Amino acid sequence: MRFGHMGLMVRDLERMKDFYIRVLGFTPTDEGPASVNYIVFLCVEPRDHHQIFLCTGRSEDEAGSRIHHLAFRVADLAELRRIGRRLEGEVKHQEPANHGIAWSIYTEDPEGNQLEFFVETPWYVHQPMKKPLDLAKSDADIVRETEAFCRTQPGFQPHPEWYAALRGRVESRAGFP
């Protein structure tokens, strides 16, 4: 397992977006509404869709930082299932999810910090996108159903094509002001 990405709840999305893009050199990869929030995905390493995302929803009177969740990349669906089994009885709930670009399990740690464990799929579709995932199905069924669904979604591309385009966008920003 290795660390995947971090989400930050923010007060002023445009100010934060400007800072991460203009000042720190991140490249936006996607953005859009998700439930009651709006999310902006950002990357500096074009091997991943994002290393950070900014999410509306932090109130003006909240002090300190507010992390949306910590995400951990795992090797495959078998490892995702193993983690799910290890979490049974240790956490209040688990939410398996299919994002098209990843299969995930969401849960919380004992103090309520949201965690995500995910496996990247071979496809890209516009984010945010989330639908239920049935981990009781076979790997072959999950892969087949996800690919069929992804092919119907905006921006569908195999990951190698999407990452090649993203690499060009990130590298063109290498000399950002």
pLDDT tens, position by position, for the chain (177 residues)? 777 899 988 989 999 999 898 877 889 999 999 988 999 999 988 888 999 999 998 888 877 777 888 888 999 999 999 999 989 888 889 999 999 999 999 998 876 778 899 999 999 999 999 999 999 999 999 999 999 999 999 899 999 999 999 988 888 876 665
What number of CA atoms fall less than 13 Å from residue 173's CA on the CB side? 18
Looking at residue 171, its pLDDT comes to: 85
Looking at residue 89, its pLDDT comes to: 87
Looking at residue 47, its pLDDT comes to: 85
Looking at residue 176, its pLDDT comes to: 64
Looking at residue 177, its pLDDT comes to: 57
Ordered by where they begin, the domains of the chain are 2-172 (3.10.180.10)
Residues 6+ apart with CB under 8 A from 67: 6, 7, 8, 9, 113
Q: Whole-model pTM above 0.75?
A: yes
Looking at residue 62, its pLDDT comes to: 79
- Number of neighbouring beta carbons within 10 Å of residue 46: 18
Looking at residue 120, its pLDDT comes to: 95
- N- to C-terminal Cα distance for the chain? 35
